[in-house]
């Protein structure tokens, strides 16, 4: 099973399942991180966390802890 | 006829505030929503015989109550029922922006869409069929470019409850969607509801938007690759910060501060004093006005140029999109205190002045984080404490000035971190906020918006701080010029008595004299007042503005009252204890309650007392007492 954390900067994947829980889940989903959405990892922050992704034509940042719980294909 | 209320709703970074400013111009008022530190902006727009009250709601991505802003927007729409809700939508970022639109449509709000930044969308190669979009969503749409005031006239012309509620001939797909959404809501299936919204949006976009030509790497992305670069990102950030402080202090703050200082203590004081004499006003009143009010208010007013400059930079960095990158770069480091990267900027500003630092805390996601950040921000050693350090290091640490001053800055940071963790673990505990943040495209901030924001923030400080500083100045003047028998010299005054009364508190700190006690008291008014008070209480009068000269003047008395160790303990105390009046006034404004403001005043006092005591006693044990 691959998670978004395994995707290297510059590569894209398709979201399969959002396993995130709590308030982060609602926020990520409202921002469009949903099953079927194409997500491209843009870069990792200089200190190693969080990550920057491109989704639905805009740039979004969240932490690796969340990325780890987003299953991708 | 009562005014028509128009509420502006929309995602952050859509130009919502720019639109608000363009519509209301100078007729606006910015404050906080009752009890919370979220900005509340209300303005007036007069057009012919009609008056519109325009409310700029906090920017949100949805109204599902994930955050305080979302709760405010949801509550406002539900309870206040504005006559028209104008949903400001970024045309170049339609897919995500329409998510909120769908929620507003579901909520049945009398809706209009201001399709903003249509120029950006065109540049991205997007061809938006507004007719079709409007039909699909059943909502009137007006294209705008708020930063250039394009389309605003059309928008205002359509500000009418009738137009917003008259559903355009509702497309069958929309009716189907609304029915589905309703049933999903009844079934409490939140996930499917969210997916349903995005699914509907993609269908709408398929019908109404065409993208011409291949998407090329945008300028914004190229810039971002440099500004948040793995290696270069942090050095560039530090460079920008250095430049900001250099401009704010060396170029603008300091010269203007000196100028204002000279002007207030010179011509203004002289003029007022002469006028009062020629009017035959009583001596005590002259002294109150000149030595009390003008001197007290003036010492803080001199900081106004610096504060305004810092606010100006904050507005520019915020409007350009760089602020979000600062949070992105520094998040990992800030997480250690339990705060997000968004708290870094306010903390950093704290080195300049606590006032904008405390106000900057409002960018944080939760009320809890905002409180923590506002409470610990004054521990960052602000510029007003520097004269104290400069004086005492010139007196006792001529060999290693830099090291001593540096140690105080580091101590402030360390204590801020510790207190941050402590607050998060005790009175302000709870699940930590997730870091989910948009990195908006870089934009040239609109001058108009930047200026209005700077002025509003600065004005807020002037009014709030001004009243408190004014009354404190009067009280301090009275205390330092009177005792029970009437007018008295400083050393026989109430203030000296109070200073003497609290002096024993500092017996084990090495500076338990009434003079130090008085200096500590006046330092609550403004930190730089500590130095001038020392000059007065030691009978030297006006100290030189230059630290080395002042040190020479003070040398004979200072060496009687202080040792190097007790001087260091005194500096530690002044670094930590109760923030100045201006900062306290800002705390009250931002935290919204006296309870929290009191905590912000008392905890630093206790902390300062303890840390300073430990420094002195450990220093004695280690043999630094001589």
Tens of pLDDT, residue by residue over B354-373, are: 988 998 898 888 888 899 99
The total number of structural domains in chain B stands at: 1
Token couple for B423: 């607050």
Higher pLDDT, B105 or B543: B105
| B536 located within any domain | no
User: H or E segment at B51?
Assistant: strand B50-56
What residue numbers of B does the annotated binding site cover?
10-17, 21-22, 24-25, 35-39, 56-59, 116-119
Contact A23 B431 (CB under 8 A): yes
Q: Is A46 on the interface with B (CB under 8 A)?
A: yes
Element (H, E) at B607: helix B594-621
pTM above 0.95, yes or no: no
- Tell me the nearest-neighbour CA distance from B234 into chain A, angstroms: 7
Give the residue numbers spanning the domain of B142: 4-211
| Residue B401 reports pLDDT greater than 60 | yes
The Cα-based distances of B145 to B11, B27, B76, B120, B139 in angstroms read 16, 21, 26, 9, 19
Question: Are A47 and B99 in contact (CB < 8 Å)?
Answer: no
Q: Using CA of residue B223, residue B224, residue B228, residue B229, what is the dihedral sign?
A: negative
Element (H, E) at B54: strand B50-56
Report how far apart, in Å, the C-alpha atoms of B390 and of each of A73, B296, B400, B523, B555 are.
61, 21, 12, 15, 14
3-state DSSP helix/strand/coil % of chain B, to nearest 5: 65, 10, 25
pLDDT, tens digit, for every residue of B546-595? 778 888 888 888 888 899 999 999 999 999 999 988 899 889 888 888 99
Comparing CB atoms, the residue among A44, A60, A66 nearest residue B438 is: A60
Question: What pLDDT does B105 receive?
Answer: 93
CATH number of domain containing B69: 3.40.50.300
Cβ within 8 Å of B, A 54-73: 56-63, 66
Q: What angle do CA A22, A26, A30 make, to 5 degrees?
A: 165
Q: Would you say B452 and B316 are in contact if contact means Cβ atoms under 8 Å apart?
A: no
Does B437 lie at the interface with A, CB-CB under 8 angstroms? yes
Range of weakest confidence among A65-69, B99-103, B272-276: B272-276
Q: Would the CB atoms of B64 and A30 count as touching at under 8 Å?
A: yes
What pLDDT does B311 receive? Answer: 86
A9 touches B: beta carbon within 8 Å: no
- The pair of structure tokens assigned to B542 is 């006006």
Residue with tokens 């209300």: B42
Measure in Å the smallest separation between the Cα of A58 and chain B Cα atoms: 7
**Predicted ipTM of the assembly:** 0.95
Run of H or E residues at B440: none
Question: Do the Cβ atoms of B590 and B370 come closer than 8 Å?
Answer: yes
B390 domain residue, yes or no: no
pLDDT > 90? residue B48: no
If you write DSSP's letter for every residue of B200-263 in order, what string do you get? HHHHHHHHHEEE-SPPPPPHHHHHHHHHT-TTTHHHHHHHHHHHHHIIIIIIIIHHHHHHHHHH
Can you list the domains of chain A with their CATH numbers?
2-72 (2.30.30.90)
Asked if residue B227 is part of any domain, the answer here is no
**Is position B115 within any domain?**
yes
pLDDT beyond 80 at A13: yes
User: Minimal Cα–Cα distance from B439 to chain A, Å?
Assistant: 5
Label residue A33 by pLDDT band (50, 70, 90): very high
- Judge whether B485 lies within some domain: no
- Interval B180-201: pLDDT, tens: 999 999 998 888 999 999 999 9
Which residues neighbour B120 within 8 Å (Cβ) at sequence distance 6 or greater?
B90, B91, B92, B441
Q: Is residue B538 part of a domain?
A: no
Residues of B in contact with A43 (CB under 8 A): 225, 228, 230
């Amino acid at each position: 099973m691959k998670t978004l954390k395994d995707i290297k900067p510059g590569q894209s994947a398709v979201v399969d399942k959002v396993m995130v829980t709590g308030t982060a889940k609602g926020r990520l989903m409202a921002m469009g991180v949903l099953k079927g959405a194409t997500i491209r990892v843009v870069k990792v922050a200089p200190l190693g966390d969080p990550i920057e992704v491109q989704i639905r034509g805009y740039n979004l940042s969240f932490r690796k802890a969340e990325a780890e719980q987003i299953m991708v294909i | 006829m009562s005014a028509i209320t128009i509420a502006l709703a929309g995602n952050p970074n859509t130009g919502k505030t720019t639109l608000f400013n363009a519509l209301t111009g100078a007729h606006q008022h910015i404050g906080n929503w009752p009890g919370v530190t979220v900005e509340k902006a209300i303005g007036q727009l007069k057009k012919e015989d009609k008056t519109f009250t325009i409310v700029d709601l906090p920017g949100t991505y949805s109204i599902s109550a994930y955050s305080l802003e979302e709760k405010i927007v949801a509550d406002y729409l539900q309870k206040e029922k504005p006559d028209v809700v104008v949903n400001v939508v970024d045309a170049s970022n339609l897919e995500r922006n329409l998510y909120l639109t769908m929620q507003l449509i579901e909520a049945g709000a009398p809706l209009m869409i201001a399709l903003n930044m249509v120029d950006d969308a065109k540049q991205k190669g997007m061809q938006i069929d507004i007719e079709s979009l409007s039909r699909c969503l059943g909502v009137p749409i007006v294209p705008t470019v708020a930063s250039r005031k394009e389309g605003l006239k059309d928008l205002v012309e359509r500000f009418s409850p009738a137009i917003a509620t008259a559903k355009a001939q509702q497309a069958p797909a929309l009716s189907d969607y609304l029915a589905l959404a309703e049933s999903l809501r009844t079934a409490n299936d939140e996930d499917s509801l969210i997916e349903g919204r995005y699914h509907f949006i993609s269908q709408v976009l398929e019908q109404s938007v065409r993208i011409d030509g291949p998407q090329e790497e945008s300028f914004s992305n190229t810039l971002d690759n440099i500004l948040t670069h793995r290696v270069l990102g942090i050095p560039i950030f530090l460079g920008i910060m250095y430049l900001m402080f250099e401009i704010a202090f060396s170029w603008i703050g300091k010269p203007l501060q000196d100028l204002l200082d000279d002007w207030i203590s010179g011509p203004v004081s002289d003029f007022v004093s002469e006028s009062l004499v020629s009017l035959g006003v009583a001596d005590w009143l002259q002294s109150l006005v000149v030595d009390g009010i003008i001197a007290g208010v003036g010492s803080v007013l001199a900081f106004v140029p610096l504060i305004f400059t810092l606010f100006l930079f904050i507005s520019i960095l915020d409007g350009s999109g760089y602020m979000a990158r600062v949070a992105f770069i520094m998040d990992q480091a800030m997480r250690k205190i339990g705060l997000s990267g968004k708290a870094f900027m306010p903390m950093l500003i704290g080195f300049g002045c606590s006032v904008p630092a405390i106000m900057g805390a409002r960018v944080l996601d939760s009320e809890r984080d905002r409180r923590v950040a506002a409470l610990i921000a004054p521990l960052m050693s602000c510029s007003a404490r520097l004269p104290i350090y400069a004086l005492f290091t010139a007196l006792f640490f001529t060999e290693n000035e830099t090291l001593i001053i540096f140690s105080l800055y580091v101590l402030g940071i360390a204590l801020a971190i510790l207190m941050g963790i402590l607050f998060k673990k005790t009175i302000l505990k709870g699940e930590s906020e997730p870091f989910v943040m948009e990195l908006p495209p870089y934009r040239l901030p609109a001058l108009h918006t930047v200026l209005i924001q700077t002025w509003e923030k600065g004005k807020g400080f002037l009014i709030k701080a001004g009243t408190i500083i004014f009354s404190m100045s009067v009280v301090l003047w009275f205390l330092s010029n009177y005792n029970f028998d009437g007018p008295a010299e400083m050393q026989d005054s109430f203030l000296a008595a109070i200073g003497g009364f609290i002096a024993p508190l500092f017996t084990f700190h090495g500076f338990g004299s009434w003079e130090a006690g008085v200096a500590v008291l006046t330092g609550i008014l403004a930190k730089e007042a500590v130095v001038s008070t020392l000059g007065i209480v030691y009978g030297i009068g006006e100290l030189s503005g230059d630290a080395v000269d002042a040190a020479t003047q003070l040398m004979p008395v200072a060496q009687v009252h202080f040792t190097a160790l007790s001087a260091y303990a005194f500096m530690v105390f002044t670094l930590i204890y109760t923030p100045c009046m201006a900062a306290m006034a800002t705390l009250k404004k931002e935290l919204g309650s006296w309870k929290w403001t009191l905590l912000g005043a008392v905890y630093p006092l206790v902390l300062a007392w303890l840390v300073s005591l430990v420094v002195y006693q450990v220093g004695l044990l280690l043999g630094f007492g001589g």
